Amino acid sequence: MPTVNKPSPSKDPLANKRAFQNTLAKWFGKEGKAYPWRETTEPWAILVSEIMLQQTQVATVLGSNEDGSGGHYKRFMALYPTPRSMAEATEQEILKAWEGLGYYRRARNLHAAAKAITRDHNGRFPEKFEQIRALPGIGPYTAGAVASFAYNEPQAIVDANVARVFSRLFDFQERIDTTTGNKQIWQWAQELLPDKNPRIHNSALMELGQTYCSNKSPDCAHCPVSQFCQCQEPSSLPQKKSAVKTTRIDEFAIFATDSHGRVLLQKQAQGNRREGMWHIPRRDHEQTLDLALSLKTTYAITRYHVTLRIYASHSDQTDSQDHETWHPIENLEHLPMPSPDRRALESLISSVG
């Protein structure tokens, strides 16, 4: 059984469920942020936001302006306002629209869901949790979030922010990333979920985890639900498996051009995390020894810190390999490309005039 410190009755959220729910909702009504996806009950718009927000910060999804103008979310919704519009697009078009958000499998999952909605539901977004959960690439959290936020269906949701809030509220001393720990967090989320306005309740829990109950700097003195919290050392919770250490790796690539104003690019093969994306061709280090270094840059991806060295090469020095194609420079802006490669290619092209 998971270790849960026995709470004082006055601080137990479960013993004071209505008071906890009301306090949380009242605070959110005053301080909750007005994100674009909170200003709508359109399920497709909410699904897009939920998929984008997986492993990506709100600021990145929104862009430079808090109202989302000019950001990834607004641009993507302008291109694909309905499931049918996305279902009819090609994967290359969608990957290009997703560029800059990373984790491109999410875009392919969203594409598959759009096709299923168009094919199996005649383009109408399903209304029940079980139907949403049955869409390809949609897990229990995402299905619950859409059902809750779009239809106000009483579905508990647990993301990283919500899990952190509950681990501290109940002073949960077990790891939350185990089957038992995860089950306990979801149980608390379900038990504290109100039947009335679960949309507000779930949004408030997520907001609380993003603000007062943040990972690195919890502000317990001003937390709106501190009277229900049993945690004495919030910075020590939640308990998780130790983070994987960053691995440093080197990559070598060629910036190959020809006399026709074309650049050689390589398309990521099926099964690769960036499947379908175009990038600067990688080579073994030995294949670049006789070439001049044009650019050295770094980027991070998951647990890797990559140093990328790119060497100048001309068509008569270059043997193209599998999945490699010559592209006119003026067409590059239309191709889906990982952000590190896009930035490097723009720098290289500008340096040669």
Dig out the tokens for 126 from the structure.
Answer: 């399903």
* Helices (H) then strands (E): counts for the chain: 13, 7
343 and 99 Cβ atoms separated by less than 8 Å: no
Q: What is the DSSP track for 67-101?
A: T-TTSHHHHHHHH-SSHHHHHTS-HHHHHHHHTTS
Q: Of residues 31, 39, 50, 333, which has the active-site annotation? A: 50
50 and 145 Cβ atoms separated by less than 8 Å: yes
129 and 143 Cβ atoms separated by less than 8 Å: yes
DSSP, collapsed to helix, strand or coil, labels residue 307 as strand
In the residue annotation, 130 being an active-site residue is answered as no
Residue 253, classified by CB atoms within 10 Å of its CB into exposed (0-12), middle (13-18) or buried (19+), is buried
Q: Which residues are catalytic?
A: 50
